[in-house]
Amino acid sequence: MASVHVPKIETLFSVDHHLRYFDGEIRRRYGCFKELLEKIDKNEGGLEKFSRGYESFGIHKTPDGGIIMKEWAPGAEEMYLRGDFNNWEMTQYKFNKLDFGKWELKIPPRPDGTCPIAHCSKLKLVVKTKTGQLVDRLDPWASYVNRPEKVPIYDHIFWDPPQKYQFKHGHPPKPASLKIYESHVGICSWEGKVASYKEFTQNIIPRVSKLGYNAIQMMAIMEHAYYASFGYQVTSFFAASSRYGPPEDLKELVDTAHANGIVVLLDVVHSHASKNVVDGLNQFDGTNTCFFHDGGRGSHDLWDSRLFNYTEWEVLRFLLSNLRWWIEEYGFDGFRFDGVTSMLYHTHGMGHGFSGDYHEYFGLNTDTESLVYLMLANYMLHTLYPDFMITISEDVSGMPALGRPVEEGGGGFDYRLAMAIPDIWIKNLKESSDEDWDLGKLCHTLINRRYGEKAIAYAESHDQALVGDKTIAFWLMDKEMYTHMSIMSPPSLIIERGIALHKMIRLITIGLGGEGYLTFMGNEFGHPEWLDFPRIGNNESFHYCRRQYHLADDNLLKYKYLNRWDQDMIHLETQYQWLSHTQNFVSRKHDSDRVVIFDRADKLVFAFNFHPHKSYTDYKIGAVCNIVPFILTLTNLRYKMVLDSDAEEYGGHKRLDHSVDYYTKNEPWDDRQCSMMIYIPSRVALVFAKVD
């Protein structure tokens, strides 16, 4: 892989001229990245080779049928391998010590030429610490770990199946309009259990395809000993979680998604690691360092986890190889990087409000080493896999240029999560009635993103579904969802209001909020309950650790209305691809009328009436973008209504005639060059499309 030579930082300044005031700091950061990249080129033969550590580290079969293992444990005094293959004898197979804290073990084949360690054998590394203790550890590079049902400790399972899964489908093309279905395999069943990769493949992928989403974001795949951590306390970074099934089943899942044209993103956690010593990386070599910083810098007090030392050569090899592994072994198409804010700042973002002042991002609080790692990871991924790679940052701070290419001095991410959007929705729902929502502030939040950096908009993700918070559907309808969601039940003003606003909230978010869109599984149809994983606090109950998709499929229940709305909304975006058009203009945000009007993609006009009871006949709205030359005749441009939240199939009152054509008049209105008259009922959202 060739190094970058001439940074294109002037391009970055042309996108955001305010960054020019921090020219020196941006160039310094880029210089740190370039210096590290050049060291890798010089010492490792390039980033491509450096990031294939999984081919030499960990356990592997040799061509003659033997075994070779290599580990990095600089603090260890001795190292051994034991398992059921040698009746768990502690010190029979001893590693040889190499340079730079590395250890190697070779085991010859059996006399008959077969491998001395059989497929699915249980293994443990034994580390002799500086105090003379012999302690069991899991191989950090283990590709599969598992534990018996009643035993809380994991074993490394030697995964060498006689028939490995053969992928039938390649990576789908990178979507121009990214629409993500955020998913957790374990909760995909209505039953109170841990669901499987097979169940997700058979039941959820067809649903995602029918809904029209073109990406699945997989959570909690990297192995985590504590299920209730939601996958964010990773213990084995190279192992696909065994609680959902064997590795080959995950490969089939990804391949099936690809067969449906759906890209699969992995929720990757490189911001921290579990403190678990027996099952995780913590104190792997018997010291408090190895993969992590020592002292306070090596611990995250809020998350009670360990923090990587991104200056350590072998930590870089481990993490970069981890990204390559999930692509090369499982076929993932990209990553959503968790906890990026925590990585970017020495304070981990805790106790920091981030006002938007640029000095907050270019001062001493920024952790250059972590930022350079993210730059290096993004550079590697986009250089090696330019045709399909997608990376998304979870950063609440708003770090400038995080979503710009590395060669410009940016962080290299394709998208950033628009994390302020769900916050304002929950704030509005918790603190005020929709009659009092500040529409100007709402619109500002939806469009307030860094120019030239693409954002993923979402009304709610898994965060808002977790117990301790409430989903939007629950905030809107709460207990009445248990009694009034049947089409046979008596009318309910709460349910009617909730269904109307649920549809409007989602449409205005995907319409105005970003260049991509995300929903969490089940929330698209207003899933009636929160999400709570089995834990001591709930007596290890699975009751809320599931998704009740049958509710959306029941014709006697009103969840079907929200499910149909979401499906048609997503398919409409697929038809018009407005997410890939950054051009949008809010022509009206009228707090008294409770009306919001905006246009997007040069063809669509979105109209929202948030008023609880006022409907408007012959309501005048702006209709054409200013990019249309004035010399063109703007009279009698024809629009058709292409989406109507008041339609009967979405649980509305069917007050609009969908056969009506709407024609513009050459009368400027709301800073648009022409206008048209529409009928817009109360608590209704409409989309009009220009007919060519």
Nearest Cα residue to 178 out of 514, 423, 446, 402: 514
- Name the pLDDT band for 592 (thresholds 50, 70, 90): very high
The verdict on 436 and 536 lying in the same domain is yes
376-418 pLDDT, tens per residue? 999 999 999 999 999 999 999 999 999 999 999 999 999 999 9
- Please state the three-class secondary structure of 432-500 as a single string: CCHHHCCHHHHHHHHHCCCCCCEEEECCCCHHHHEECECCHHHHHHHHHHHCCCECCCCCCHHHHHHHH
Residues ≥6 apart with Cβ < 8 Å to 137 = 124, 125, 126, 127, 284
Strand partners, 622: 675
- Name the pLDDT band for 150 (thresholds 50, 70, 90): confident
19-74 pLDDT, tens per residue? 999 999 999 999 999 999 999 999 999 999 999 999 999 999 999 999 999 999 99
Average pLDDT, integer, range 447-471: 90
Q: What does the pLDDT read at residue 439?
A: 97
Nearest Cα residue to 577 out of 204, 214, 261: 214
Mean residue pLDDT of the chain comes to 95
Q: Does 683 score more than 60 pLDDT?
A: yes
323-368 pLDDT, tens per residue? 999 999 999 999 999 999 999 999 998 888 888 889 999 999 999 9
- Name the pLDDT band for 263 (thresholds 50, 70, 90): very high
The verdict on 590 and 682 lying in the same domain is yes
- Domain assignment present for residue 56? The answer is no
Q: Does 100 score more than 90 pLDDT?
A: yes
More confident residue, 122 or 4: 122
**Is the separation of the CB atoms in 605 and 501 below 8 Å?**
no
Average pLDDT, integer, range 178-190: 97
- Name the pLDDT band for 634 (thresholds 50, 70, 90): low
In the chain, the amino acid numbered 538 is: N
More confident residue, 637 or 683: 683
- For β-strands 58-61 and 67-72, DSSP reports them as antiparallel
**Is the separation of the CB atoms in 609 and 680 below 8 Å?**
yes
Q: What does the pLDDT read at residue 521?
A: 97
DSSP 561-573: HHHHHHHHHHHHH
- pTM listed for this prediction: 0.96
The verdict on 431 and 533 lying in the same domain is yes
Give CA 655 to chain center in angstroms.
39
Overall domain count for the chain: 2
Which segment of 125-134, 250-259, 624-633, 669-678 scores lowest on mean pLDDT?
624-633
The verdict on 573 and 599 lying in the same domain is no
Q: Cite the active site residues.
A: 338, 394
Q: What does the pLDDT read at residue 186?
A: 97
**Is the separation of the CB atoms in 604 and 653 below 8 Å?**
no
H or E element in which residue 606 lies: strand 604-609
Average pLDDT, integer, range 443-464: 94
The conformational region for residue 472 under phi > 0 = left, psi -120 to 50 = alpha, else beta, is alpha
The verdict on 655 and 549 lying in the same domain is no
Average pLDDT, integer, range 629-653: 84
Average pLDDT, integer, range 583-607: 94
- Domain assignment present for residue 560? The answer is yes
Q: What is the CATH number of the domain that holds 653?
A: 2.60.40.1180
544-566 pLDDT, tens per residue? 999 999 999 999 999 999 999 99
- Domain assignment present for residue 614? The answer is yes
More confident residue, 348 or 584: 348
What's the Cα-to-Cα distance from 376 to each of 38, 289, 317, 408, rounded to whole Å? Answer: 11, 23, 11, 13
- Domain assignment present for residue 54? The answer is no
Nearest Cα residue to 371 out of 325, 420, 311, 317: 311
Nearest Cα residue to 608 out of 595, 617, 621: 595
- Name the pLDDT band for 467 (thresholds 50, 70, 90): confident
- Domain assignment present for residue 334? The answer is no
- Name the pLDDT band for 225 (thresholds 50, 70, 90): very high
The verdict on 558 and 628 lying in the same domain is no
The verdict on 563 and 443 lying in the same domain is yes
- Domain assignment present for residue 36? The answer is no
The verdict on 577 and 488 lying in the same domain is yes
d(CA 557, CA 548): 13
Q: Does 7 score more than 80 pLDDT?
A: no
**Is the separation of the CB atoms in 687 and 643 below 8 Å?**
yes
The verdict on 555 and 641 lying in the same domain is no
- Domain assignment present for residue 394? The answer is no
Which segment of 209-218, 303-312, 665-674 scores lowest on mean pLDDT?
665-674
In the chain, the amino acid numbered 587 is: S
d(CA 450, CA 372): 21
- Name the pLDDT band for 6 (thresholds 50, 70, 90): low
H or E element in which residue 299 lies: strand 299-300
The verdict on 502 and 615 lying in the same domain is no
In the chain, the amino acid numbered 609 is: N
The verdict on 595 and 578 lying in the same domain is no
Give CA 137 to chain center in angstroms.
30
The verdict on 564 and 631 lying in the same domain is no
Q: Does 582 score more than 80 pLDDT?
A: no
**Is the separation of the CB atoms in 182 and 544 below 8 Å?**
no
Average pLDDT, integer, range 107-111: 96
By residue range, what is the domain housing residue 425? 421-450+469-515+526-582
- Domain assignment present for residue 373? The answer is no
Which pair of tokens denotes residue 386? 């330019």
Residue reference for tokens 């293959």:
85
- For β-strands 263-268 and 215-219, DSSP reports them as parallel
Q: Which 3 state secondary structure label does DSSP give 53?
A: helix
Q: What does the pLDDT read at residue 633?
A: 52
